[in-house]
Amino acid sequence: MIQRVVFLDRASLKAKVRKPAGASEYVEHAKTAPDEVLARLAGATVAITNKVPLRGETLRQLPDLKMIAVAATGYDVVDVAYCRANGIAVANIRNYAVHTVPEHAFAMILALRRNLLAYREDVEAGVWNRSDQFCFFTHDIGDLHGSTLGIIGEGAIGQSTAAIGRAFGMRVLFADHAPPKVEGVTFTPFEQVLAESDVISVHCPLTPATRNLIDDAAFRKMKRNALLINTARGGIVDEAALIRALDQKLIAGAGFDVLTVEPPRDGHPLLDVRRPNFILTPHVAWASDGAMQFLADQLIDNIDLWAAGKPQHLVT
């Protein structure tokens, strides 16, 4: 039996969450500050976290903790090495965002490629009212059909993004990287993907190898009409380099749903980038109603199956 289950940041999930089947006690906290973690997890068998960090120095003070259920696919908030060495199971969420994230990515791609924000600004400024014809051509409009989509990350979300791209008639390239790799995917050297893609969409995890993967040198290799979309993790793209690339017109535009610091505080440089060729959304690409409920159901399934001795989606 699971003695005590504690959800540290319930407010991060807008969905119905059922009580784990075997839990004698189930406690939810809307949010948890770092200095509250130890007290709230005292005596807990299972911790549920989305964005509350659980590091080794904290975990070693929680002898009753046997499992961590991460309410997300990314599990960088958990000290996995410590958990592996000390017999704490860690499970994450799989395949819940395979539709919602690619759809969000393409919403940004279409808005940027067709310059919808720039045209909206012109309409609001009265440009159409003053036009002497039925339309006006103040900004370039590009088609996706026949263009090249470069994808960094060939997991379920990357594959779904590729499927949408192919439906638009785009040529799809997957950037090569170190193993492990998905079978059946044809890879293209990373430098070639940068050079040939009209749209680059990031769908890889944040790791030491991918941190600042897109930097000044990468931007200089891209097409001047390229769009860069990041719905993966902040930190994969060097944010200062992105601003320089936009200022110097090294790329045509960018759409970001993630930042290195979330929520961003006053003074974050990307908050001040206000131009029609840059879209910033508040980490909501994953958050459709259907995807969030799928996540919530799988989250508790992970706990129930682990308690039943049939664990799924373990990362340790």
The catalytic position among 233, 244, 265, 274 is 233
- In angstroms, rounded to a whole number, what is the distance separating the alpha carbons of residues 33 and 10? 13
User: Measured between alpha carbons, how far is 285 from 54 in angstroms, rounded to an integer?
Assistant: 25
> Is-catalytic flag, 262?
yes
Query: Which residue of the set 55, 120, 262, 275 is catalytic?
Result: 262
Order across the sheet with 26-28: list the strands: 26-28, 5-7, 46-49, 67-70, 89-91
The question of whether 36 is a catalytic residue gets the answer no
> Which of helix, strand or coil describes residue 108?
helix
What token pair was written down for 88? 């704490």
Specify the residue for token string 């993967």.
213
Return the exposure string of 295-304: e unless at least 16 CB atoms fall within 10 Å of the residue's CB, then b: bbbbbbbbbb
CB neighbours of residue 238 within 10 Å = 20
In Å, how far are 183, 202, 257 from 152, measured between CA atoms? 16, 5, 16
Q: Which residue's structure tokens are 């990314």?
A: 74
CA angle 259, 195, 102 (to 5 degrees): 45
Tokens of 280: 């910033």
Cross-strand partners of 7: 28, 48
233 is catalytic: yes
Report DSSP state, residue 118.
H
Report the catalytic residues. Answer: 233, 262, 283
